[in-house]
Amino acid sequence: MMCPNIERLTYSVCPPPYRPDRNGPFRQHFLLNTLLRNNYGKLSQMHLQKLRHVRLLPQVGESYEGTYDYIDLLTEARLFHRLPAIEAISVDGITSNNDADGLGEFPPATSNIESIHVGNSMLRSSLLAPLIRMPKSLGELTHSVGGRDSDDGKQMSIVDMKTQRWLIDSQSGGHYIFTAKTLGKALWGSRSSLRKLDVDVDSMLYDDSHDEEEYAEQCAEDEEYGETSTEEDYLHDEYFRQDEHDSPGPLELYELPDGRAYNNTIGSLHDFEALTHLSLGIKLLLGPPDSTTPFQLVEGLPKSLISLTIRGYTKGAVAKYDAAIGELLARRSDVLPGLAEVDGVERLIPSADVEVGRSAKGSQEARYWVYNEDDEGWLAA
């Protein structure tokens, strides 16, 4: 706070908030509370006014080898998201704890962040969506699953062998489900600003109806028990209310009209006029093999596109995919004259597997993602 010229910050999150009595006062960690107040202009002097990039790390000493680390991502993001120079936030190797008092929603279009990176992680789409909607003008999104195991990975169950969609068993502590429609709707508000989209989540995709049903159930519970509660008052504090006041809304993603057909795809990206670099899995792009894609692939890509990478496509394996890719290549020069690179068609680019240990065969040693500290070497100089 005493260094006004800091532009890049690698920040290990503070210990979980201390609240032994859920009806008592909320005691935040001193550093967390100071950063939070600074971000919302509650201090007598403003700090970190030149901070551009924040890289989040798990709480020191709380990591388990080979497993995703729990981080309350939205709560951590709001320590910095309103700073005047902030551009990017990045984090790797994380998951959410459905049983913790984590922030699960966020007022949209309240942040100056333009670039979001969440790599080698396992987050449900209903949590990633408010993070995507947080910026006023999102320019880049990179999100990939895999690289580690969940703490309860041994409980992981295959629910659909044909499409390889994964669901954590109800006995293992929570659902980690990703739906294409939730991602597509979350991105829709950034269609004029998004330049780069790189999402690798095919191994977690689940039917679009899941998030809609979950939202409907939550609305029913709110109606039955009342919209205000001690828990909501705790999560929707004065800082949340400040963002809510400044936000154009709506708070909930499913209060927005669909605007286009999805059918288990990310939806047509034709209107994403600034998008130049796109990297997606074949299922996220076109839906499961046995579904109907509600748009033609070549017509569903923006004319601004320069580079396209498709993961998980094997030529000759699925007729639906072959037909879409074939039409894309045949009409590419006429419909997408700026598309200079198409990768993942002639060669297979595998999609990430959400559980490394599960995919390791026999005695083969699982290769886990490890945080790369090479670019932080100056700290020890």
Q: What is the pLDDT of residues 131-180, one digit of tens each?
A: 999 999 999 999 999 888 877 544 343 334 334 443 443 333 344 789 99
Q: Using alpha carbons only, what angle is made at residue 344 by residues 342 and 346, rounded to the nearest 5 degrees?
A: 90
Q: Is 326 inside any structural domain?
A: no
The arithmetic mean of pLDDT across residues 199-225, rounded, is 72
Q: Which two tokens stand for residue 318?
A: 């699925």
Q: Which amino acid is present at 224?
A: E
Confidence (pLDDT) at 189: 95
Q: Which two tokens stand for residue 340?
A: 């200079």
Q: What residues contact 104, with CB distance under 8 A and at least 6 apart?
A: 74, 126, 127, 130, 235
Entry pTM: 0.86
**Higher-scoring residue by pLDDT: 149, 246:** 246
Confidence (pLDDT) at 367: 80
Q: Which two tokens stand for residue 57?
A: 């790390």
Q: Which domain holds residue 179?
A: 8-18+25-254
CA 6 to chain CA mean position, Å: 27
Q: Is 337 inside any structural domain?
A: no
Q: Is 235 inside any structural domain?
A: yes
Q: How many domains does the chain have?
A: 1
Q: Is 173 inside any structural domain?
A: yes
Confidence of residue 199 (pLDDT cuts 50, 70, 90): very high
Quote the crossing angle between the two packed helices 125-133 and 180-188, to the nearest 10°: 10
Q: Is 45 inside any structural domain?
A: yes
Q: Is 31 inside any structural domain?
A: yes
Q: Is 374 inside any structural domain?
A: no
Cis amide bond preceding 84, omega within 30: no
d(CA 181, CA 115): 21
- Phi and psi based region of residue 61 (left: phi greater than 0; alpha: psi -120 to 50; beta: remaining): left
d(CA 89, CA 74): 11
At residue 129, φ and ψ (nearest 5 deg) are -55, -50
